[in-house]
Amino acid sequence: MALPLINVYAYTMGGIGPVETKDLSALSKLSEKNGVPFYAGRFYPKNHDAKWQLFNLGFNSQTAPWMTWEDLGPTQIWMLPAFEDERITKLKVSIDRIDLWPERNSSDNDLPPWEQTQWDDQMQQRLWGSTDLTLEGTTELAGSGGCIDPGITITQNMTSSALTLGYVGIAELTGHFTEYAFYDQELQIMNGESYGMPQMRGQAWIYFNEYQPDETLNAQEATEEQLYNYKEFWRVRSDGVWIRRNAEPPTKGKLEFKDTVGGLPEDMEHWIVPLDSEYSQWLNSDIDVADTFGNTKWDYHTKYLQQTDPPIAYTSPNEISIPGMGQMLTYKPSNLDTVVYTIKAAAEVLVVPDVMPGATREWWKDVSQNAAETYGAYLASNIWYFYLPVRFNGTKMADRTEFLLNRAGIKRRDEPYYVAP
C-alpha cells in the first residue's frame, strides 16, 4: 500500500498536513454526507507569508479557509510505499468533489443558517461532482489535469518511477480556486425602452400579442405609453435567465424578488435554460472575465449591441451601438460562504517478489511501462482523501459592479450618445 507524506509544518511549507483538531467535527458530518470513508489530512497551499511556529505541529493550527482567487503556488503531494518490497508505479491526484463546509451552521458562526432547497440539491448534483472510489473515476466537469475547478492545474507523476525507482510518487497543484463552486450568485436587472433600449419595443409588441392575460387588448390596441413603458425584470443566474414580463417596479418600498419553497424564482418565466455543457459559462470561473463582468453570459446579456444591416428592429440606423441592459438592480453575492474541496490521491503499487527474473536497475527503467502487463497480479490501488476549505472572496464584486453599472442604458438619459465599455 502507499501512504501520504504528512508534514506537521505543511501549514507553512505546503503539502499535506495532519487533520486539525478543530475540523474533526466538521469532517465527521462531511463523511456522513458525501460517503468519503476517511480524511487522512488537510491540504495546505504553499504560503510564503506564513510565519514559522516551531511548537505548532499542525494538529492545533487554527488555519483559516483558503480564499478564492488567491494564488496557489506550486504545492506537491507525496506518496510513499508502506513496505520495503513495494514500489509506486503511478500516482493520480484529482479534485472531484465539492461540499458545503458543515461548520456553516455551528453555534459559533455568525452567518445566518443555511437552508438547503431542492434547487440547491439539483445544482450541487450537477456541478459539485462525485466521490467515485475507483482509480479512474473523475467527474465529467473536471478541468485541467483532473480538477473540477477550472482554475487549478494538477500535474501528475512529477517524477517517473524509472527515476525514483518507485520509492515516491509526486503530483503538483498550481493556480487558484475560482468561484466555480459558488453557483448561487445572481445578476438582477430591468430592461425597457424607457431605459435607452429602443429594441425593447419589439418585446412589448410580443407581450401584448402573446402574453397579455386580458385578451381584449392586443398590440394594435396598446397605447404608445404602454409600449414605451413596458418593462421586464431579469434574474440572470447559474441556471439561465428568468424573466417577468410587463413588470411594474414598486413606487414605494424596496423591490424584492422572492423564491418558491423549492428555490426557484417566483412568478417568473424560465426564458433561457443552459445545456449541461454550458453551465461553466454561467459561473464566475474564468479569470479573464471575472475581474470585469463576472462570466461570459453576464457579459453577453449586458453588453452593448452593435448595429446591424439592416438595423436592429425599432432602432435608428444612425445608432452605432444600443444598450443591452437597461438598469442593474442588484448584484447578489454568494450565500454559501465556505465550501470544502475533497482531494483524492490514488496510487498504483507494485509488490516486488523476493526472487524476480531480471531484478536489476535496468528493469526499473522500464517498470512504469511494463508493470501492469508483466506484474499485473501484484498491482493494488490505494486511495487517500484530503480536504481543503475554501471561502468566497468578495473583493472582485466592487470592480464587477462598476463595470456592469457603466453598461446600463439608463445612462443615456443624461448622455444620449453614451457608449459603455
Higher pLDDT, 346 or 157: 346
| Whole-number pLDDT of residue 251 | 83
- Measured CA to CA, the distance from residue 257 to residue 235 in angstroms comes to 9
Among 279-293, 376-390, 392-406, which stretch is predicted with the lowest mean pLDDT? Answer: 376-390
Stated length of the chain = 421
Q: How sure is the predictor about 322, in pLDDT bands with cuts at 50, 70 and 90?
A: very high
Mean pLDDT of 191-210: 91
CB 82 within 8 A of CB 146: no
> Residue 167: what pLDDT?
78
Strand boundaries in 214-320, DSSP class E? 231-237, 240-244, 269-272, 305-306
Lowest mean pLDDT among 80-84, 119-123, 363-367, 380-384: 363-367
Q: What is the mean pLDDT of residues 192-213?
A: 87
Closest Cα partner for 280 from 126, 68, 159? 126
Task: List pLDDT tens digits, range 261-292.
Answer: 999 999 999 999 998 888 889 999 988 899 89
90 CB neighbour count, 10 Å cutoff: 21
Instruction: Quote the DSSP letter at residue 336.
Output: -
Mean per-residue pLDDT for 198-217?
Answer: 79
Q: Residue 371's closest CA among 165, 230, 153?
A: 165
Whether residue 2 contacts residue 164, with contact meaning beta carbons closer than 8 Å, is answered with: no
Residue 393: CB atoms within 10 Å: 17
- The pTM score is 0.86
* Residue found by looking up cell 455543457 in the block: 277
pLDDT at 260: 96
Give the list of residues 6+ apart from residue 355 with CB closer than 8 angstroms, or none. none
Residue 251: exposed, middle, or buried by beta-carbon count in 10 A (0-12, 13-18, 19+)? Answer: exposed
Q: Which of 392, 387, 335, 404 is nearest to 178 (CA)?
A: 392
pLDDT class of 138 with cuts at 50, 70, 90: very low
Task: Kindly report which listed range (107-111, 245-249, 293-297) carries the lowest average pLDDT score.
Answer: 107-111
Q: What is the average per-residue pLDDT within 141-146?
A: 56
What digits encode the pLDDT tens for the residues 28-40?
Answer: 999 999 999 989 9
pLDDT at 67 over 90: yes
**Whole-number pLDDT of residue 175:** 93
Q: How far is residue 16 from each of residues 8, 10, 61, 65, 125, measured CA to CA in Å?
A: 8, 6, 13, 15, 28
The answer to whether 61 and 327 are in contact (CB under 8 A) is: no
